[in-house]
Amino acid sequence: MISCRNLTRRFGEFTAVDGLTLDVGAGAICAFLGPNGAGKSTTLKMLTGLLAPSSGEVHVCGLDVRERPREVKRQIGVLPEDLGLFDDLTVEEHLLLTGRIYGLERDETRSRAGQLLRVLSLEDGRHTFAASCSHGMRKKTAFAMALMPNPRVLFLDEPFEAIDPVTSKIMRDLLEAGARRGLTIFFTSHILSVVESIAAQLVMISKGKIVWNSPAGELPQSLEQHYFDLVESPAVEELEWLGWPRS
Amino acid sequence: MARLAAIVGALAKAFRRDQKSFQSVIGNNFFFITAYMLRAAGAFVYVIIGLVLLFPMSTDPLRKIPASRLALWPLETRERWLLRAVSPWINPVTWVLAAVSLWTAHSGIKIGLWGLGAGIFATGFLLSSLLSQDARPSQSMWRGVPNFPGPLNQLIRKNLREMLSTLDLYCALLLSLTATIYRATRRPLPPEAWLAITVLVVLAFSSYAQCLFGLDGEGGLSRYRLLPVRGWQILAAKDAAFLLITVLLTLPLAPFAGAGAALVALALGHAPAVIQPRRQIRWRFSTGASLILGFGQAILMAMAASAIFFSGAWILLPCTAACALSTWWYGRRLEQGFATE
């Protein structure tokens, strides 16, 4: 469902993503892990057509993302890094806009919007402008927009960060149910416990290159330990001035 | 005292940076065209620009510090009072009003104008300090923007709300209102005067046509890239909002001439809006791409409005065609930009 070959993106001299090759099958939940600045968001932007690759190929739902961008957009739902919200639209208006733009009938749009607002606990803030929403509300709005057109593939950039535990659980349940019905999900996250609970495929990236790609069950050790070993080990520096009494 | 000095210093720096954004008026079509063409006769226009500018300039500098941050800082009560007393003097408008009040007391003239200025300042200052920035009172007022038929409804509503948070629009509104009141009082004016005022009204917010994406923000621009719509549809939603405002503002004046001028403003504004998008700031004047383009836009707007006024509404047809062609062409450029970024 998602396929990329030798995907590379350079920003001047800096290579953010370097020769990335990856396949994600239909109905899979693929977690894309890596430290800040490893190239996760850049990869996700290239997979969704938000950013043109310097070289390489991307196919989503069998369509070339560069050649047929509009057809690809109709097939996918995206939660982008910057959430992609308009300051001058309310939470509900964002959902109504999405439904109508993706060709849903007015009644169907209203019905889905109402359901999503209810499920994601956004009902109380439905008339709040995006600019006035908390970060969590904004993220939930963008997540609801991604689900609204019932896409074949979902791309989610850090969907669980800044989300309360109950909504996080609801979101995980929604994603798992969607995957069981054939929805393909590609997401980035730093919350390893969430990744462990839902991901069927694990891909780790470091300095723009894939360092691990396997089904979740084939990890040789715990995800956290494996991540520390392969991607980045924690380095703690002592701050002598931290703690009481003050020096 | 060191704490207070540090806060006031940072506050002054932040406030100065914010005030620099008022320089956007220099790149505004309305400002430089009236400065060039009307000169001394443009006093009335400058009073309007001044009044429109005074309101956002009269903000409370202390609001630059988030209320939660201010509450967390370990300041003594005395220091908080001092900060409250000192911070208004960071705003240069406070000094100007104080100087004018001293001058007024001695000369005994212009008390009315001073009172008006001081009143606007006090209103702006109090409103800005009473209402936190997060509350965005203006936005709750914009909730009532009407719905439109079609799938682009929410985009058009959003674009209208964006236009409602620029000073250009209020300048045009003041001009239009003044002219309408003048007309309602049935004072004699040659018919050509309505044409001139109509062109001035459209000119007042024509710079916005050059920066149609200026208030969408990064999030909005990435959403445009994600939506499965054509570039021309995105531009058409922008144009619809612009034209709607034009029709409403010029309805009591010369509406056909106004619509023609707006179509020409859009036809010429699409290029800089798409090719050189510039970020704009809310509650400031829009800044155009260049003086040459601004002059060109103004001259062609005036020509189109005059042609419609003197030759008939059929001239709207070529104006509409030019705008539609520009929308289609720059819509394609917009899509190409999305694909190559």
Q: What is the pLDDT of residues B75-103, one digit of tens each?
A: 788 888 888 888 877 877 777 777 776 77
Q: Which residues of B touch A (CB under 8 A)?
A: 134-136, 139-140, 142-143, 150-155, 157-158, 161-162, 165, 215-220, 222-223, 225-230, 335, 338-341
CB pairs under 8 A between A and B: 92
A89 and B158 within 8 Å at the Cβ level: the answer is: yes
Q: Does ipTM surpass 0.85 in this model?
A: no
Q: Which of A69, A85, A129 sits opposite B136 (nearest CB)?
A: A129
| Residue A211: partners with Cβ closer than 8 Å, 6 or more residues away | A204, A205, A230, A231
Residue with the bigger pLDDT between A18 and B9: it is A18
Is the CB of residue B263 less than 8 Å from the CB of residue B187? no
A179, two tokens: 């995957």
Task: Let me know the angle formed at the C-alpha of B67 by B61 and B72, rounded to the nearest 5 degrees.
Answer: 120
Domain tally for chain B? Answer: 2
Task: Check pLDDT > 50 for residue B134.
Answer: no
Residue with the bigger pLDDT between A222 and B274: it is B274
Is the CB of residue A35 less than 8 Å from the CB of residue A231? yes
Comparing alpha-carbon positions, the chain B residue that sits nearest to A80 is B222
Q: What is the DSSP string of A39-89?
A: SHHHHHHHHHTSS--SEEEEEETTEETTT-HHHHHHHEEEE-TTTT--TTS
pLDDT number for residue B91 = 78
Task: Check pLDDT > 90 for residue A17.
Answer: yes
A97 and B217 within 8 Å at the Cβ level: the answer is: no
Which chain A residues are Cβ-neighbours of B230 within 8 angstroms?
70
Comparing alpha-carbon positions, the chain A residue that sits nearest to B216 is A86
Q: Is residue B149 part of a domain?
A: no
Q: Are residues B279 and B187 in the same domain?
A: yes
Comparing alpha-carbon positions, the chain A residue that sits nearest to B215 is A87
Q: How far apart are alpha carbons A109 and A96 in whole angstroms?
A: 6
Q: How far apart are alpha carbons B197 and A54 in whole angstroms?
A: 52
Q: Is residue B330 part of a domain?
A: yes
B215: nearest Cα among B149, B141, B139: B139
Q: How far apart are alpha carbons B169 and B244 in whole angstroms?
A: 12
Burial B232-264 (b: 16+ CB within 10 A, else e): bbbbbbbbbbbbbbbeebbebbbbbbbbbbbbb
Q: Which of A55-59, A203-207, B59-63 has the lowest mean pLDDT?
A: B59-63
Q: Which of B215, B219, B340 sits opposite A84 (nearest CB)?
A: B219
CA B165 to chain A, closest CA, distance in angstroms equals 10
Which chain A residues are Cβ-neighbours of B151 within 8 angstroms?
100-101, 103
Q: Is residue B141 part of a domain?
A: no
A48, two tokens: 């969704």
List Cα–Cα distances, B134 to A48, B53, B216, B218, in angstroms. Answer: 32, 22, 18, 19
A204, two tokens: 């780790």
Residues A92-113 have pLDDT tens digits of 999 999 999 999 999 999 999 9
For domain A2-230, say whether CATH 1.10.150.120 is its number.
no
Residue B338, H or E segment: helix B316-340
Q: Are residues B95 and B190 in the same domain?
A: no
Task: Check pLDDT > 70 for residue B42.
Answer: no
Q: Are residues B120 and B211 in the same domain?
A: no
pLDDT number for residue B135 = 47
Comparing alpha-carbon positions, the chain B residue that sits nearest to A109 is B151
Which contacts (CB < 8 Å, 24+ apart) does range A114-117 have? A116/A144, A116/A147, A116/A148, A117/A91, A117/A92, A117/A144
A86 and B227 within 8 Å at the Cβ level: the answer is: no
Is the omega angle on the peptide bond into residue A245 within 30 degrees of 0, that is, cis?
A: yes
Looking at B80, B100, B133, the residue that finishes a domain is: B133
Q: Which of A137-151, B146-160, B175-189 has the lowest mean pLDDT?
A: B175-189
Q: How far apart are alpha carbons B311 and A66 in whole angstroms?
A: 49
A78 and B161 within 8 Å at the Cβ level: the answer is: no
Q: Are residues B25 and B164 in the same domain?
A: no
Task: Tell me which DSSP letter residue B135 carries.
Answer: G
Residue A48: band (very low, low, confident or very high) from pLDDT cuts 50, 70, 90:
very high
pLDDT number for residue B136 = 53
* Angle of helix A106-119 versus helix A91-101 axis, rounded to 10: 140
pLDDT number for residue A238 = 81
A152, two tokens: 């074949």
Tokens 């990744």 -> residue: A195
The residues spanned by each domain of chain A are: 2-230
Task: Check pLDDT > 80 for residue A67.
Answer: yes
Task: Check pLDDT > 90 for residue B121.
Answer: no
Q: How far apart are alpha carbons A230 and A227 in whole angstroms?
A: 5
Residues of the domain holding B115: 2-133
Residue A144 φ/ψ, nearest 5 degrees: -60, -40
CA B220 to chain A, closest CA, distance in angstroms equals 5
Which chain A residues are Cβ-neighbours of B154 within 8 angstroms?
89, 93-94, 96-97, 100
B157 and A89 within 8 Å at the Cβ level: the answer is: yes
Task: Check pLDDT > 80 for residue B60.
Answer: no
Q: State what percent of residues in chain A have pLDDT above 70.
A: 100
Which chain B residues are Cβ-neighbours of A87 within 8 angstroms?
215, 217, 219-220
pLDDT number for residue A14 = 92
B256: nearest Cα among B169, B210, B318, B198: B198
Q: If you average pLDDT over residues B240-250, what whole number do you get?
A: 95
List Cα–Cα distances, B129 to A27, B5, B15, B97, B133, in angstroms. Answer: 53, 21, 14, 19, 9
B153 and A100 within 8 Å at the Cβ level: the answer is: yes
pLDDT number for residue B218 = 87
Q: Are residues B169 and B129 in the same domain?
A: no
Q: Are residues B245 and B125 in the same domain?
A: no
Establish how many alpha carbons lie within 13 A of residue B44's alpha carbon, considering only the half-sphere containing its beta carbon: 9
Is the CB of residue B286 less than 8 Å from the CB of residue B26? no
Mean pLDDT of chain B: 82
Share in percent of chain B as helix, strand, coil (round to 5): 80, 0, 20
Q: If you average pLDDT over residues B179-207, what whole number do you get?
A: 86
pLDDT number for residue B23 = 67
Which chain A residues are Cβ-neighbours of B338 within 8 angstroms?
49, 69
Q: Are residues B129 and B177 in the same domain?
A: no
CA B138 to chain A, closest CA, distance in angstroms equals 10
Residues A118-145 have pLDDT tens digits of 999 999 999 999 988 999 999 999 999 9
Residue B274: band (very low, low, confident or very high) from pLDDT cuts 50, 70, 90:
very high
List Cα–Cα distances, B14 to B43, B63, B292, in angstroms. Answer: 32, 11, 33
Comparing alpha-carbon positions, the chain B residue that sits nearest to A129 is B139
3-state secondary structure of B93: helix
Which chain A residues are Cβ-neighbours of B147 within 8 angstroms?
none
Which chain B residues are Cβ-neighbours of A101 within 8 angstroms?
151-152, 227-229
Q: How far apart are alpha carbons A191 and A83 in whole angstroms?
A: 18
Q: Which residues of A touch B (CB under 8 A)?
A: 48-52, 66, 69-70, 73-74, 78, 80, 82-90, 93-94, 96-97, 100-103, 127, 129-132
Q: State what percent of residues in chain B have pLDDT above 90.
A: 36
pLDDT number for residue B174 = 87
